[in-house]
Amino acid sequence: MSETVEDVAALIASLRSEESEEDEGVHAEAIESLSVFPEGVLGRGVALAWEELVAIPKTYAGEVLNAICNSGYDAISGFNDVYAELLPQAQSLLKALIDFHESEVWLAGAEKGLLTTVRDTFFDSL
């Protein structure tokens, strides 16, 4: 498998397919495949694929966001760098998804607050 941000976007788009929604194995395989990407590519790729991310089932989107948070600093930083550069409407849609998962399920624990457009100099110093 290639390791580009476009490949990440294609993988996220596959979660929108009818096959993925009907077959838990296809869904699980797609989520698991995220782990093969280098952290920075994963983070940037997911943020660049924001339109697909907000269009897939919320549970799947939460798993993708959780994967970023658990992949490490470069994944989080890459996501946040792109997220901060998105147009306000895109940021708003992505923020609503992140807020939902921070209050409900996937990002309600230690992952809360990691995905943000606000640059945190303390976090960057780690």
Instruction: Give the residue-averaged pLDDT of 7-27.
Output: 71
Range from 4-18, 65-79, 112-126 that averages highest in pLDDT: 65-79
**Backbone CA torsion sign across 62, 101, 51, 75:** negative
Whether the per-residue pLDDT at 54 is higher than 90: the answer is yes
Q: What is the pLDDT of residue 1?
A: 47
Would you state the torsion angle of the CA atoms of residues 23, 27, 30, 31, taken in this order, to the nearest 10 degrees? -160
| pLDDT classification of 23: cutoffs 50, 70, 90 | low
Q: What is the pLDDT of residue 51?
A: 93
Per residue in 91-106, pLDDT (tens digit) is 999 999 999 988 877 7
